[in-house]
Amino acid sequence: MHSESRWARATAVGLPAAVMSAIGACGLDRGGMWRDEGVTFQVARRTVPQIWRLLHGVDAVHGLYYLLMHAVLAVRADEIALRLPSVCGAAAAAGLVGALGARLAGAWAGCAAGLLYAATPMVGYYAQEGRSYALVSAGVLAATLLLVRAVDGDGLWWAYAAVLAVSCLLHELAALAVCAHAVSLACARVRRGVWGRWACAVGAVGIVTLPLALVSRAQSDQVAWLRTPGWGSAGRLLRAFVPVPTGMVFWACVALALLGACAGPRALTGVALPLVLTPPALLIAVSRLRPMYDDRYVLYALAGLPLLTAGGLATLAGAVTHALRRRARPAAGRALPRRARPAPAPRTRPDRTPDDRARRRARPRTWAEPLTGAFTFPGSWADRRARAGTRADRPAGSLTLPGTRADRPAGSLTLPGTWAGRRADARAPALAGVVALGLVVVPVLLLVGYALVPHRAGRAAAQRPDDLAALSWAAARQLRPGEPVLFLPAIGRRSALAYPAGFAAARDVALRESGARSGTLYGREVGAVELRRRLAGAHRLWVVAEPYALRPGPLPADPVERAKLALLRREFSPAGRGQAPVRGGASLRLYVRREPAARGPAATAAGPPVRPAGPPRPGPS
């Protein structure tokens, strides 16, 4: 039994990790980066001093991730290497979900939870994105598993604090997981000493991450593009957390999750339910006052829903197995002569004595103790912990699957050594295995196969907000050597930074100092006088413009952007050809110089500057 349970635990961790690795690696090179990935790619290829200088002005929240990707891209600088750490993080997260489920509800339930996590399209989406969110999820789940082990007495508080600190340094909103852990400890009703050790670990994490929080607060303008979330945000997040977001499969998953939350193993519910509810609820509540919410910031909370769904499957399997056992045992008992049937033993309450009550009070509280009345699989961690104590330690009325030591109570209708007893004992483990396989693993495997369709659709380049490679290819086809290019606004330069080959022959007419040298993302630009001087002899001008930049309306508030747009409107006009719109709204347009008589008055004299109706994202978040 010990070697078999070890194999089951290894399967619960390894199989979801392998499935997630295969899903993440399939189609990893989709032929183009979008804007946030482009920022990672161009920043991570800078030197460490240049990255450190950049973090003082922008993107401090991603500083540790940029340093990690600097080491990765130093080996190979391409899109596969850019996304490979996210694939590894998603695979590790799937294995950790399986490990959590196996520890709290049994190996088969853990395997089901890990496979459900791997089958969720939102996980696959961020597994193929060159940002830190998949790694943050793996870090938070590893910290959660270490917390469970530390509470059980393994003495891993230092490891819990270290992993949680790294997760918060990868993205500071991972600190919301600390609130979920606090709720889990409250549900487990741990002792005062456990609370003290947890508080020391969290205090150490706070000391480490406090400088990052102070610096990133000064850079809060980077998330000015976020909007105030409403009730619709919660509904969209729920559908994103489920492997199939529509139809009967969606409602079946929700029903199983509710079953797991209400009737599943209490240890599993006490960990999974706070994880899936607390971080999104807190972030949405805070964002009602100051918008900070985006679903990717709480990607790690998604792991709670597969755990609850697996708990519901385990509860359903336990109920069916218990019903089959009740039907099988009376039949075996009727096969014996009436005089051979033993008299039922009177039910007693062995914990009524003062010695038993003192022993129960002295026993340390563990995550497995609240499993009163729960269904446990034979060979699982929770089942072994339940069988480790005396019969007096097992609460009355607890239901276990056949084949365990606790499943042979006094007064059974089958005698040991008889034909009916041997047959019932031999049939019980097989019955438990068949029910676990039929009600837990097989539906999950079918759901994984069904969810591969949205997985394939989500990894296409068309599912990303924009495509920097397509814009660079359009520039390579149409730009002549030495022709000037103007980026409206400056963040449009991200395509040239991510794919410089397409703009290698052109001349960036407004650039004064590159981003690497100036410590910025997109560089510093010249003023209106210098820009007019550089364009004095140009008759053709290529403009890379965001969709909002050329809309009719007031000029932008930034003086450099206002000068560029005023000069373009006054001295140039769109040509009849040479326009190349690209998916996502960005476009490459050809402008020609106006005739002197056709030039109108400068557009800069009308009123105070006002921001355009659709402000750009100031930078990656």
State yes or no: pLDDT of 196 exceeds 90.
yes
State yes or no: pLDDT of 492 exceeds 60.
yes
Answer for the pair 92, 138: CB distance below 8 angstroms, yes or no.
yes
pLDDT for the residue numbered 439: 58
pLDDT for the residue numbered 459: 63
Q: Quick one: average pLDDT of 567-586?
A: 71
pLDDT for the residue numbered 74: 94
Q: Which two tokens stand for residue 62?
A: 């991603």
Neighbours of 248 (CB within 10 A): 8
First and final C-alpha spacing in the chain: 50
Q: Measure the CA–CA gap between 134 and 91, rounded to whole angstroms.
A: 9
Q: For 454-482, b where at least 16 C-beta lie within 10 A, e where not — what string?
A: bbeebbebeebebbbbbbbbbbeebbeee
Q: 67-81, 457-471, 563-577 — which is least confidently predicted? A: 457-471
pLDDT for the residue numbered 413: 40
Q: For 114-144, b where at least 16 C-beta lie within 10 A, e where not — what string?
A: bbbbbbbbbbbbbbbbbbbbbbbbbbbbbbb
With pLDDT > 90 as the criterion, what percentage of the chain qualifies?
A: 35
pLDDT for the residue numbered 230: 83
Answer for the pair 87, 121: CB distance below 8 angstroms, yes or no.
no
pLDDT in tens, 68-91: 999 999 999 999 999 999 999 999
pLDDT for the residue numbered 180: 95
Residue 204 — very low, low, confident or very high, per pLDDT cuts 50/70/90?
very high
pLDDT for the residue numbered 99: 94
Q: Measure the CA–CA gap between 148 and 272, rounded to whole angstroms.
A: 12
Say what angle helices 266-287 and 133-149 make with each other, to 10 degrees.
140
Answer for the pair 244, 451: CB distance below 8 angstroms, yes or no.
yes
Q: Quick one: average pLDDT of 492-509?
A: 89
Q: Quick one: average pLDDT of 184-196?
A: 92
Q: Quick one: average pLDDT of 411-429?
A: 44
State yes or no: pLDDT of 579 exceeds 80.
no
With pLDDT > 70 as the criterion, what percentage of the chain qualifies?
A: 71
The values of phi and psi at residue 412, to 5°, are -65, 150
State yes or no: pLDDT of 422 exceeds 70.
no
Q: Quick one: average pLDDT of 261-276?
A: 91
Q: Quick one: average pLDDT of 566-578?
A: 80
**Amino acid residing at 485:** V
Residue 377 — very low, low, confident or very high, per pLDDT cuts 50/70/90?
very low
Answer for the pair 435, 458: CB distance below 8 angstroms, yes or no.
no
pLDDT for the residue numbered 453: 60
Q: Quick one: average pLDDT of 23-29?
A: 85
Q: Quick one: average pLDDT of 350-378?
A: 47
More confident residue, 387 or 372: 387
More confident residue, 263 or 445: 263
Residue 7 — very low, low, confident or very high, per pLDDT cuts 50/70/90?
confident
Instruction: Please enumerate in sequence order all residues whose Cβ is within 8 A of that of 70, keeping only pairs 6 or more positions apart, or say none.
Output: 44, 45, 46, 48, 51
Residue 619 — very low, low, confident or very high, per pLDDT cuts 50/70/90?
very low
State yes or no: pLDDT of 419 exceeds 70.
no
Q: Quick one: average pLDDT of 152-159?
A: 87
Q: Measure the CA–CA gap between 366 and 49, rounded to whole angstroms.
A: 48
Q: 263-272, 288-297, 494-503, 548-557 — which is least confidently predicted? A: 548-557
State yes or no: pLDDT of 410 exceeds 50.
no
Residue 525: strand, helix, or coil: strand
Residue 408 — very low, low, confident or very high, per pLDDT cuts 50/70/90?
very low
